[in-house]
Structures are given as structure tokens and as C-alpha cells.
Chain A
Amino acid sequence: MNTTATGGISVQQVTKTFQLKGDDFVALDRVSLDIADNEFVTVVGPSGCGKSTLMNVLAGLEAPTSGRALVAGDDVSGPGPDRGVIFQQYALFPWLTVRKNVEFGLKVAGLGRAERRERAERFIRLVGLEQFADALPKTLSGGMKQRCAIARAYAVDPSILLMDEPFGALDALTRVKLQEQLLDTWSREKRTVLFITHDVDEAVFLAGRVVVMAARPGRIYDVIDVDLPYPRTEEVRLSPEFGDLRNRVWHSVYHQTPSEGRS
């Protein structure tokens, strides 16, 4: 788990406090976590456990109060295209077509028109939206929007994907389908993934490792290795091994012992 030198993530003793009505709210309390290059890690926990804060710190959208967050061995200072972020609310630019959304980061990076188009095309195909390349987001279903957002994040070629409950707003059937598609995309285009969710099944199905967090203060409660083979098929999802792991994570999330010393 010594990963600081590669394209992995290293979170070292990160604390983040917010001022809430004069009180200090500890969103993250000395959180440490190492994620290897191309590892798929899910983070699950009750609301208020700081899982989104952890993601924002790694994305560079929030600075830690203390501690260090390293990506590929470098301290995170502000957002950057080396870390792709996928938001729960899709965050597609509604005035741009699917293609233009996917091209956005490439345009920012100053790529020429032909190259932009070619790269965008490739990732639109990767998520299976080629028929909708010229459609506006408002005409897409929630699942399609999120696939577009995944293509947009991939297009700038980040070494890390940070996903903040990306399927949280979707119905159960679409969610299962997108989980499988995401793993398919990931197996073809390997990246280090930190995937935040509140869905225990989702956490186990996707991950090589599940990080369970606890609230008040936000901290890592448990880390559970998922020794299930990829590709994760329906067979895997319905296997007793999956069930056992799911139960373990479930207990870890829903039957947490309160933290020592703090309320």
C-alpha cells in the first residue's frame, strides 16, 4: 500500500473543520487512506461522515484544515484536469450538446478542433452515446446524462476519477445497468477510482476495497477488501460470497459503535 510515487492517492492525517453557527463541525478527523494506481475504491457511510468532503479535498475544491492530500505523489493544490470529477447532479452544461460537453475540457486545454472532435468521439463511443452526440442534455435521461459526464471526465485523460454518488439520483434498474457499464469502461480504460456512495450493494459490487466511514467526527471506520473477481457479472452479484461481503459492509455501516470520547 505504499503508493505515493505512482498515479495513486495518498491521504495523510487529513482534518477538515467547518464553522457552523459558531461551532466547529469536524467533517474529517485525521483521515488517512492510500489508494494504489488503477485501484477501484468505494467509500460508503452515513450522511455527515465527510465522504463528500474527502472527495472535494482530493478534487482540490476544498483545502484541508490540516494534513496532506497527495495525488501521484504531488500535493493537491486546487482543481486540475489530472483528476476527473463526476457529480451526482451530472453538472452537464445544458447549453452544450453531448459532443460539446465532452469537448469542453479539451477546449480549455487548447486542443485543435480536429483533435478535440476525434478524442470526444472516442469517449462518446466508449459510453455508448454516439447516437446522441448532437443532442442537448435536456433531451437525455438521467442515466444518459451521467454517461455523458463520465465521457467528459475521461476525455481530458485524468489519472484519477473521483465520483460523488454519481448514480444516487437514478432508479434502481438504471443504476445496476450503469454500474456494469462503468466497470466495463473502467476495465478498458483503467484509472484510479474513488467512488462515493450510500448504497452498500453498489459499494461492494464495484470495488476492490470498500472504505466505511463514520460520522461525528467524520472518520474511517473500517476498510473491507472485496476479493471478488472482475469482470463482475450478475453471477458475482448473486453469489453467496457477494452476500457475505455485503452483510459485512452493511453491519459496518449501520451498526457503528460510537467514537470514543466525542459526541
Chain B
Amino acid sequence: MKTSTTGRARNGPDTDADDAPTAAADSPAAAPASRRRPPKRLILPALNAASIVAGISIWWILALNGFQFPTPPEVVATATELWRDGTLQEDILASLGRVLAGFLLGSAAAIPIGFLMGWYTVGRGLFEPWIQFFRTIPPLALLPLVLVLMGIGETPKIFVIFLAAFLACVISTYQGVVGVDKTLINAARVLGARDGMIFVRVVVPASTPFILVGMRVGLGSAWATLVAAELLAAQAGLGYRMQQAQYYYDIATIFVGIVAIGVLGLLMDRLLLLAESKLTGWQERR
């Protein structure tokens, strides 16, 4: 998750430099080390690109050699077609809407409950057994029950996605709160802060990195749950479209669905990653 390329270079001045002039004199000394490193920053994307090209080539070669795959151009053509008649947009919107609704509700519930569990013994005692219990059940396993109880509308699908996102995020938030450095809490205390102030000004910011990690994991399980939920019960959505395509042996459409899910998931993950770097850039990286 964290790139270690600059970590060592940044630690350099820490060890011996104290006042400003020394620190300033030290940074040029650290610079050559980082100047030697940039190639790595170029090599990695280059390798990424090469790997993607190679992967698509292998796919193409396999498709041309008797495997029952559509070739990449065929998949692109199908995607264009689905886009023209509006099916792809409709499916994406349907799926995205469910994921976002479930994910946002899940995170919104997980963060306060995670805080309650981490901060108050009572909260922990009351919530923990249920969370530990439901954590071992894949949310999808609850789908049959949820379908019976909630009907086949949007509610059951959003509910299982909510559960998936909630469980991932609540554990992480809880661990973040429990793991807040006691010295920081003591430091706030000796500066005169009371419990409420310590919570808002120390515990919340200190556990933000954990919350964001939990949200990323939650988003991942939200997507996983979504597609499966749509395979079982839906009238639109990427999962539903793939399920339909399966009946007609329309492998190209299945490929379009897979790629669309992958790309959307990646985009949402990148957005969270961006938020993470903005909100938790203060962290010391090792």
C-alpha cells in the first residue's frame, strides 16, 4: 500500500540534523539517493503497461487459436453496441447506484459504531458479539432470507451490500480507535483537554487512516456482493446483463460486463486513495 522509495531518504536528516542550517545542509546529501531512484518510478509504469499489453495479446492469441473467447475487437464492438442502445449506461447506473447506496450507508453506520466500540466498554460489549458473528457469514448467504423478508425490489440488494461494506469498515474503525497512541491522549490530557475534546481532536484524526482503509476494503466487498446479488435477482445491472448473456451464449457481453465492473471498481478505489492521501498525508511513512 505504501511506497517505500522515499522513506529512507527522508529519514536521513532525522538522525543527525537538528537545527535549521544543519537540516538544510543535509537535504542535498539526501538528494543524490533520490536522484538515483527516479528510474524506478519510470520502470514501474513501463512494466505495468508492458504487462497489460502482454495480457491482452495472450487473450487475443488464445481467442484466435480455438478457445471460445471473443477477440478484443469483438468485445470493443459489443461494448460500443451496448452503449449505443443505452443498455450499458442503464446497467452501469443501476449497479453503481446499488453499490454507492449500500457502501455509503454501510460506512455511515460503521464509523459511529466503530467509534462507540473503541471508545466505550459498553459499546464494545454490546456490539462486538453481533459483529463477530455476522463477520463469519458472507453477506450473500443472507440473501435468500433477505429476499423472503424484503421482497425482490432494490431493498434486499442494497441491504446485503450495506452489510458487506459495514462489516469491513466497522472492524477497521474499531481497531483504529483502540490503537490510538496512548501518549497522544496523555499529551492532550495534560494540556487540559477533557474526554469530548480528546475524542474530537485526537481520536478522530488519529483513526482516520484506519477508517479509510476500512472503506476501501468495504468498497471491494460491496462490489463483490453486488454482482452476485444481481446474478440472483435483478431486472437491470451489470450482473444481470452477464447472467442474461450466459443464456444466449453471448460471451462478448459477459466480457464487457467483467471489464466494466473492473474499471468502475478501480476508479472508485482510486478516488478513495486520493482522499486518503489528502486526509492522511501527515502520516510518517517507514
A5 within 8 A of B: no
Distance between Cα atoms of A258 and B149 in the complex (Å): 74
B190 touches A59 (CB 8 A): yes
Q: Mark A153-177, 1 if CB is under 8 A from B, else 0.
A: 0001000000000000011011001
In the complex, chain A residues 191-214 whose Cβ is within 8 Å of any chain B Cβ = none
Quick one: which of B10, B20, B190, B205 has the most chain A CB within 10 A?
A: B190
Across the interface, which residues of A come within 8 angstroms of B23, CB to CB?
Answer: 141, 144
B105 within 8 A of A: no
What distance in Å separates the Cβ of B274 from its nearest Cβ neighbour in chain A? 18
Across the interface, which residues of B come within 8 angstroms of A85, CB to CB?
Answer: 186-187, 190
How many of B's residues come within 8 Å of A, CB to CB? 31
B201 within 8 A of A: yes
B245 within 8 A of A: no
Q: A93-B205, A141-B13 are in contact. Are A108 and B18 (CB under 8 A)?
A: no
Across the interface, which residues of A come within 8 angstroms of B189, CB to CB?
Answer: 61, 79
Across the interface, which residues of A come within 8 angstroms of B193, CB to CB?
Answer: 104, 108
A87 touches B186 (CB 8 A): yes
Across the interface, which residues of B come within 8 angstroms of A143, CB to CB?
Answer: 17-19
How many of A's residues come within 8 Å of B, CB to CB? 40
B282 touches A174 (CB 8 A): no
Q: A87-B183, A95-B282, A138-B283 are in contact. Are A104 and B188 (CB under 8 A)?
A: yes
A104 touches B13 (CB 8 A): no
A94 touches B283 (CB 8 A): yes
B192 touches A138 (CB 8 A): no
Distance between Cα atoms of A83 and B187 in the complex (Å): 11
Q: A94-B284, A143-B19, A177-B19 are in contact. Are A84 and B14 (CB under 8 A)?
A: no
User: Closest chain A residue to B202 by CB distance?
Assistant: A93
User: Closest chain B residue to A59 by CB distance?
Assistant: B190
In the complex, chain A residues 98-157 whose Cβ is within 8 Å of any chain B Cβ = 104-105, 107-109, 128, 131-132, 136-138, 141-144, 152, 156
B186 touches A91 (CB 8 A): yes
What distance in Å separates the Cβ of B123 from its nearest Cβ neighbour in chain A? 24
A95 touches B20 (CB 8 A): no
Q: Which of B18, B186, B201 contacts A141 (CB 8 A)?
A: B18
Distance between Cα atoms of A2 and B74 in the complex (Å): 93
Across the interface, which residues of B come within 8 angstroms of A94, CB to CB?
Answer: 282-284
| Given A94-B284, A96-B282, A105-B192: 6 more A-B contacts, CB < 8 Å | A79-B186, A81-B192, A92-B187, A95-B208, A95-B280, A144-B23
Residues of B within 8 A of A (CB): 10, 13-20, 23, 181, 183-184, 186-193, 197, 201-202, 205-206, 208, 280, 282-284
Residues of A within 8 A of B (CB): 59-61, 79-81, 83-85, 87, 89, 91-96, 104-105, 107-109, 128, 131-132, 136-138, 141-144, 152, 156, 170-171, 173-174, 177-178
10 A-B contact pairs sorted by A residue (CB < 8 Å): A61-B189, A79-B189, A85-B186, A91-B181, A93-B184, A94-B282, A104-B188, A128-B20, A142-B18, A144-B18
